[in-house]
Amino acid sequence: MPFFEKNNIRYFQFQDFSGAVTHAVFTRRGGVSPAPWSSLNVGGNVGDSPANLRENRIRAFTALGRDPESVFDLWQVHGTRAVFAREPRPPDSHEDQGDLIFTDNPKITLYMRFADCTPLLFADTHLGVVGIAHAGWQGTVSGVATAAIKAMCEHYGSRPENIQAAIGPSIGVDHYEVGEEVIQQVCENFGEEAESLLPRFGERRHFDMWAANRLQLERAGVTQVESANICTACHLEDWFSHRAEKGKTGRFAAIIALKG
């Protein structure tokens, strides 16, 4: 598996991703937070202290050679709003709301937080654009992946065939039993493909977020799609899982940036 370790920080990288970008999905290992956030927690609304969050972010960024002050992040709200970052977010400013961030500025490190929701990473090295998106079930049925490709094409002039996309560690179909509300929205938004995205496990229906996001990317014309195929709930030694830890957990970080 493409895991790496530096300064006790263990992180995952996609194998096919361009060397022109710096990216990582950080595991929960190597941070300073105590249980139940042990230890590299970056989630601000889970009860952990701001000092721990700051130290964890500094450790993660430093391990990848990125300036901790280069961060641009959002208040993630399970929507499809895209933000185009021009400068790092000033430390004392409020986070804007949204679930997709893009930039063409190598001085910015895009940064998001996850615990079962799907991290989506994007790079167009022809034009020098990177992006990151947060796709939980709500974002997935609302079309975050579709919105990401649209945003890159409309805002920067990307061509879908030049975009590399990656689907990060998140809750896998094996662990992701869903109820009526999710089933109904998957059916409404995916039509005849919904059946294959909602496989039966005995009496129960599960949702395959990796396949749903891949489907959207391929429909948008993206041919380079890599998936980590790592289930957060299966590997609690590496990942925070909201479902498997019944909400008492932290958030792990994913970053992407253009090399300067």
Which residues sit at the interface with Zn ion, rule CB under 5 A?
A: 172, 174-175, 231, 233-234
Alpha-carbon gap, residue 77 to 19, rounded angstroms: 31
Q: Which is nearer to Zn ion, 60 or 211 (CB)?
A: 211
Q: Which is nearer to Zn ion, 122 or 239 (CB)?
A: 239
CA dist 8 and 250 (Å) reads: 18
45: CB partners within 8 A, 6+ apart: none
Least distance to Zn ion, CB of residue 234, Å: 3
Angle at 101 between CA 97 and CA 107, to 5 degrees: 120
- Residue whose CB is nearest to Zn ion in the complex, by number: 231
Q: Which of 123, 186, 177, 176 has its CA nearest to residue 152? A: 123
CB of 172 to Zn ion, least distance (A): 4
44 or 199: whose CB is closer to Zn ion?
Answer: 199
As measured in angstroms, the least distance from the Cβ of 210 to Zn ion is 11
Helix (H), strand (E) at residue 196? helix 194-197
The CB-of-168 to Zn ion minimum distance in angstroms stands at 14
Q: Which is nearer to Zn ion, 73 or 116 (CB)?
A: 116
What gap in Å lies between CA 198 and CA 187, rounded to an integer?
Answer: 9
Question: In whole angstroms, how close is the CB of 144 to Zn ion at the nearest point?
Answer: 22
In the bound state with Zn ion, the residue whose beta carbon lies nearer, of 145 and 209, is 209
Residue 152 or 233 with smaller CB distance to Zn ion? 233
Rounded to an integer, what is the distance from CA 191 to the centroid of its chain? 25
Q: Which residue in this structure is represented by tokens 């654009």?
A: 129
100/90 Cα distance (integer angstroms): 18
User: Least distance (Å) from Zn ion to the CB of residue 219?
Assistant: 26
